């Protein structure tokens, strides 16, 4: 084999290793060093294609060490190069890598676009193992969106892994599908998957890795088998094993699960120690969302110890931090994606997946991404634009008193009422409804008078409060508060989206403060005329 042939073989081996992502203790640093060596060899070979392959696999491994933004940036650079030079297999691999990075950044809709292209863009002669990896990533990305196609996608990925007789790829599918089923409340399906996962690990002889232990423990805890969950967790808590976690979190999530298991078992001292360790790892790695889960569990630990004041203050701080982080994430995500993707790339998406990326999977309404794209365009148009922020009152009671399944059904039914409140004509002439997150929705109405908008929103409030909720929620009423804002006319420049939504949010706050289940309209702010002469 020639020097270039050896380089190709080494690159292919490292690409496959990175895709399967079952690392042993100390393996990731060693493979990162290997990637640096391969990049140097590729550079000295003078082959631009091999340099791009080496850059991509190094970034892919670097993501596991916390470099997710750099991974996305390098992935986009290599994607553009591969597209320009017509290298289909490398192009498909860039979509595979970008799908993983964007999922971690938080833009799951855009991640789905890349996951679809990672599969559809593979050449016919692509290695079967690569197809299996790309199918598996598509299934994982669909799962994050709770898409109905998830089960079929996992079945296809599992079938490919079984055909390859590749135990590690089979274990990956069982692990990821088990966690997906667990999160969706399908405990029986999750139980079957973790049993299969444990059996594959036994036959393989390598045991479960950190991520797999976390999955198994979560499912066992959900099944009420706290002692079994504790045994699974305990075997993965030595520092070296935690540092080898494939998620790049230093084992913080497994430590969080360990704390949860100990809390259920009444072992409050060990639970506190695991939580402190998880907090330290989150802070060291900037794992903001996982850190929020640590704070939420800390409040529960305070409550378990009878420290009611600390529990109350902790829960309040957690809720406030959650809202702040959602806002920060929106801004960071927008800035990151602006640096990664040009407009032409987004517009080439097929209609089916473009529509999917703009929809909230639970309610079928448009999502915040659609709002961010469409509303600024409407504000620059000739028609009057009005918005109403809608927040379901005391929605947490539904989830806490009944169940999250009931809460989801309440959200779906409320979404249908919002959908019915939009005049026919579409987003540009009638408007649209969107779910902004949690129990908050947005109604956008176009081409109506301010008085008509207030009447329509008030009718929606009455319809929502008077809907037949009792068979679903029993004695718990379902109402909503509304904050309406009319885009200010007559300005030298159109009102921007953030200002308009901020005014609607202020009106919503007034409605809540006044007793809920009512409509409040933002007072128009006077705009001083320009000085003449």
Q: Which of 439, 458, 495, 510 is catalytic?
A: 439
**Residue 516: closest CA among 389, 386, 391, 387:** 391
Output the six-digit token pair for 87: 């290298």
Query: In sequence order, which residues have a C-beta less than 8 Å from that of residue 473 and are 6 or more positions away?
Result: 398, 402, 406, 410
Strand, coil or helix: 434: strand
Within 13 Å, how many C-alpha atoms sit on residue 55's CB side?
20
Contact 360, 367 (CB under 8 A): yes
Q: For residues 365 and 359, give the distance between their C-alpha atoms in angstroms, rounded to a whole number.
A: 6
Q: What angle do CA 432, 435, 439 make, to 5 degrees?
A: 135
Q: For residues 49 and 43, give the distance between their C-alpha atoms in angstroms, rounded to a whole number.
A: 10
Show the DSSP H helices in 380-429 as ranges. Answer: 395-397, 404-420
Output the six-digit token pair for 353: 């997946």
Query: In sequence order, which residues have a C-beta less than 8 Å from that of residue 440 and are 6 or more positions away?
Result: 389, 390, 391, 392
Q: For residues 230 and 270, give the distance between their C-alpha atoms in angstroms, rounded to a whole number.
A: 11
Q: For residues 419 and 428, give the distance between their C-alpha atoms in angstroms, rounded to a whole number.
A: 15
Please indicate whether residue 113 is annotated as part of the active site.
Answer: no
State the Rg of the chain over Cα: 25
Total Cβ atoms within 10 A of residue 377: 12
**Residue 248: closest CA among 18, 38, 74, 79:** 18
Query: In sequence order, which residues have a C-beta less than 8 Å from that of residue 374 and are 6 or more positions away?
Result: 366, 427, 432, 444
Output the six-digit token pair for 130: 């690569």
Query: In sequence order, which residues have a C-beta less than 8 Å from that of residue 411 and are 6 or more positions away?
Result: 362, 363, 392, 435, 439
Beta bridge partners of 520: 483
**Residue 520: closest CA among 402, 390, 421:** 390
Contact 484, 504 (CB under 8 A): yes
**Residue 135: closest CA among 102, 176, 101, 104:** 176
Q: Tokens 């009878």 map to which residue?
A: 306
**Residue 297: closest CA among 268, 325, 320, 336:** 268
Element spanning 442, H or E: strand 440-446
**Sheet with 519-521: strands ordered across:** 431-437, 440-446, 385-392, 480-486, 519-521
Q: Tokens 């908008």 map to which residue?
A: 453
- The catalytic residue positions are 439
């Amino acid at each position: 084999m020639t020097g270039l042939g050896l380089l190709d073989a080494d690159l292919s081996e490292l690409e496959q290793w990175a895709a399967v992502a079952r690392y042993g203790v100390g393996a990731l640093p060693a493979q990162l060093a290997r990637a640096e060596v391969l990049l140097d060899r590729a550079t000295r070979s003078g082959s631009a294609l091999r340099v791009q392959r080496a850059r991509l696999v190094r970034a892919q491994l670097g993501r596991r060490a916390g470099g997710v933004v750099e991974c996305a940036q390098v992935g986009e650079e290599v994607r553009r190069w591969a597209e320009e030079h017509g290298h289909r297999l490398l192009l498909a691999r860039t979509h595979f890598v970008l799908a993983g990075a964007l999922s971690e950044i938080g833009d799951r809709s855009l991640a789905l676009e890349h996951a679809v292209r990672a599969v559809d863009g593979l050449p016919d002669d692509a290695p079967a193992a690569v197809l299996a990896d790309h199918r598996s990533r598509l299934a994982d990305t669909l799962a994050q969106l709770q898409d109905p196609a998830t089960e079929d996608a996992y079945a296809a990925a599992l079938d490919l892994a079984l055909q390859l007789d590749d135990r590690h790829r089979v274990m990956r599918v069982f692990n990821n599908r088990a966690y997906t089923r667990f999160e969706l409340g399908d405990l029986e399906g999750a139980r079957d998957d973790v049993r299969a996962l444990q059996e594959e690990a036994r036959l393989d002889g390598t045991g479960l890795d950190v991520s797999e232990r976390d999955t198994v423990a979560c499912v066992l805890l959900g099944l009420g088998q706290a002692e079994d969950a504790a045994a699974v967790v305990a075997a993965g808590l030595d520092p070296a094993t935690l540092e080898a976690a494939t998620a790049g979190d230093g084992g913080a999530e497994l430590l969080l699960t360990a704390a949860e298991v100990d809390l259920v078992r009444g072992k409050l001292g060990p639970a506190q120690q695991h939580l402190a360790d998880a907090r330290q790892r989150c802070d060291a790695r900037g794992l903001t969302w996982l850190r929020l889960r640590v704070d939420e569990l800390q409040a529960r630990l305070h409550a378990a110890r009878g420290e009611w004041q600390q529990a109350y203050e902790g829960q309040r701080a957690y809720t406030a931090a959650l809202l702040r982080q959602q806002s920060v994430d929106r801004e960071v995500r927008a800035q990151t994606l602006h640096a990664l993707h040009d407009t032409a790339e987004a517009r080439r998406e097929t209609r089916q997946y473009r529509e999917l990326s703009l929809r909230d999977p639970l309610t079928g309404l448009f999502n915040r991404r659609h709002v961010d794209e469409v509303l600024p365009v409407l504000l620059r148009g000739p028609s009057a634009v009005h918005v109403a922020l809608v927040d379901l009152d005391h929605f947490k009671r539904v989830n806490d008193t009944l169940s999250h399944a009931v809460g989801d059904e309440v959200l779906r039914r409320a979404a249908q009422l919002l959908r019915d409140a939009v005049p026919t004509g579409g987003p540009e002439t009638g408007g649209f409804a969107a779910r902004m997150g949690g129990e908050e929705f947005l109604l956008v109405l176009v081409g109506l008078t301010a008085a008509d908008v207030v009447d329509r929103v008030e009718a929606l409030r009455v319809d929502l409060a008077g809907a037949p909720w009792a068979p679903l929620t029993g004695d718990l009423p379902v109402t909503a508060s509304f904050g309406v804002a009319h885009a200010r006319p007559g300005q030298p420049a159109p009102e921007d989206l953030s200002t308009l939504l901020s005014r609607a949010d202020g009106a919503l706050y007034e409605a809540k403060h006044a007793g809920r289940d009512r409509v409040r309209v933002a007072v128009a702010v006077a705009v001083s005329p320009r000085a003449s002469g």
